[in-house]
Amino acid sequence: MNNIVAIVGRPNVGKSTFFNRLIQRREAIVDSVSGVTRDRNYGKSEWNGKEFSVIDTGGYIKGSDDIFEGEIRRQVELAIDEADVIIFVVDVEDGITPMDDEVAKLLRKVTKPVLLAVNKVDNAMRVDDAIEFYNLGLGEYYTIAGMSGSGTGELLDALTELLPEPEEVEEEEALPRFAVVGRPNAGKSSFINALIGEDRYIVTDIAGTTRDAIDTKYNRFGFEFNLVDTAGIRRKAKVKEDLEFYSVMRSVRAIEHSDICILMIDATRGFEGQDQSIFWLAEKNRKGVVILVNKWDLIEKDTMSTRDYEKRIREELQPFNDVPILFVSALTKQRLLKALETAVQVFENRKQRVATSKLNELMLPIIENNPPPALKGKYIKIKYCMQLPTPTPQFVFFCNLPQYVKEPYRRFIENKLRENYDFSGVPIDIYFRQK
Ligand code: GDP
Ligand code: GDP
């Protein structure tokens, strides 16, 4: 399942160093188009055969000493709401600071497991210094050095002990699970209310309401589906979370729990950084995506055509831009049925399996006419291909020198697949392997 681990602590204790160690630097994908590193605060990790997502809740409040207590509180609240396990990092060099005390106070009230990591324990002498952290009242602690990795193994052993056993390969879910995501005020609750005709998404401010993802089954307009509801989604309606980081991280659980993300953007604001981050979270998790440009009723149609608008969004989505984009209004209920229909279609696209014989019939001639460019005088021969029996589309191409196949050729193959099969809204993985 989707286990979420959150790292909390005041600035400069070494959270991001530890985070990077967990997700391994190679994961830090720099988006070649926009030039921004997009997974500074979120990544996937695995230990003892258990997979989990890691959120560095230090997020955007890095480094400053004049950090407000309110920010730390928000950071911890985010962790409490969204995580299954919380790792609280403190710094042995500084000892217990008043802010550590504040965080500990919040965490002592939590029923979720909290692991206390005393960081920067670079040598044996500092092991003794760590003893004072018992005073935080959180029990046992782990001494680590995020920089060298020392001690992190024991901490991760303890962490994975707390996570449930991995489930057997997930049964094919009969009904699509949709998560409606987007920045605050994009119109998510309005859309959901228009769709299911209830006001159940208007919720009261109850701290600690159930935080796990809940699926609610619906049958609307002839479509059956589950809507994913999480604390993160519910919360957004009431708390004004202006910081991009918080609202993006509040979608993590819903995205991970869904098959298809219905990403709502506000037409009057365009496709901005926050939308991009949420889109990227969905793509990284290999979820299907439909983009709804909402509040289209507010746009002057002579100044802005859907075609121009769509073109601009597609540029932002590069390289994964084979995604349905619909112009809707939750207010006037314009094209809501179409939106639902499209989401169901993307679900079907994501499930489709291409027969091996058909795939080879199609792809081998294409490859023959456009072979991968030779490298260092060596020719690459692709002999055979197949789709793997995985929940999301993955294709493997068997060849003699897989390491010589470069990104542009992988992209070429992906485009050919997309031209010939409907994978609209669905991320595809393509591997080259030695036969
Ligand atoms: P964050 O603000 O909590 O994310 O902290 P950073 O990860 O940015 O680290 C703050 C500083 O502590 C940086 O200068 C790191 O190099 C340093 N640091 C992190 N881990 C260790 C460690 O294990 N030992 C020592 N000596 N320094 C560390
Ligand atoms: P959420 O935070 O994403 O759940 O957004 P809400 O559904 O609460 O909507 C935010 C605001 O935008 C509310 O004032 C809605 O009435 C308004 N709104 C939502 N959808 C539309 C739409 O399609 N057109 C217009 N004009 N306003 C909308």
Asked whether residue 39 carries a pLDDT value surpassing 80, the answer given is no
Q: Is the pLDDT of residue 206 over 70?
A: no
Q: Lowest mean pLDDT of 78-82, 238-242, 307-311, 390-394, name the range.
A: 238-242
What's the rounded Cα separation, in Å, for the pair 183 and 54?
21
**Ligand 1 centroid from CA 89, angstroms:** 11
Query: Cα separation of 153 and 103, whole Å?
Result: 24
State the closest ligand 1 atom to the C-alpha of 20, by its place in the atom list counted from 1.
7
Give backbone dihedrals phi and psi of 166, rounded to 5 degrees, phi first: -60, 140
Domains delineated in the chain: 3-162 (3.40.50.300), 177-351 (3.40.50.300), 356-434 (3.30.300.20)
Q: Are 231 and 80 in contact (CB under 8 A)?
A: no
pLDDT of the residue at 243? 65
Dist CA 352 CA 418 (whole Å):
13
* β-sheet bridge partners, residue 263: 181, 291
Determine the distance separating the centroid of ligand 1 and the alpha carbon of 161, expressed in angstroms: 26
Q: How confident is the model at residue 75 (pLDDT cuts 50, 70, 90)?
A: confident
Instruction: Mark the binding-site residues, compressed into ranges.
Output: 9-16, 56-60, 119-122, 182-189, 229-233, 294-297
Q: Please check the confidence at residue 68 and state whether its pLDDT lies above 90.
A: no
Half-sphere exposure of 21 (CA within 13 A, CB side): 18
- Within 78-212, strands assigned E span 85-91, 114-119, 141-143, 177-182
Specify the residue for token string 């679900």.
Answer: 347
Helix/strand/coil percent split, the chain, to 5: 40, 20, 40
Binding-site annotation: residue ranges for GTP: 9-16, 56-60, 119-122, 182-189, 229-233, 294-297
What is the ipTM, given to two decimal places?
0.86
Tokens of 435: 């036969």
Shortest-distance ligand to the CA of residue 235: 2
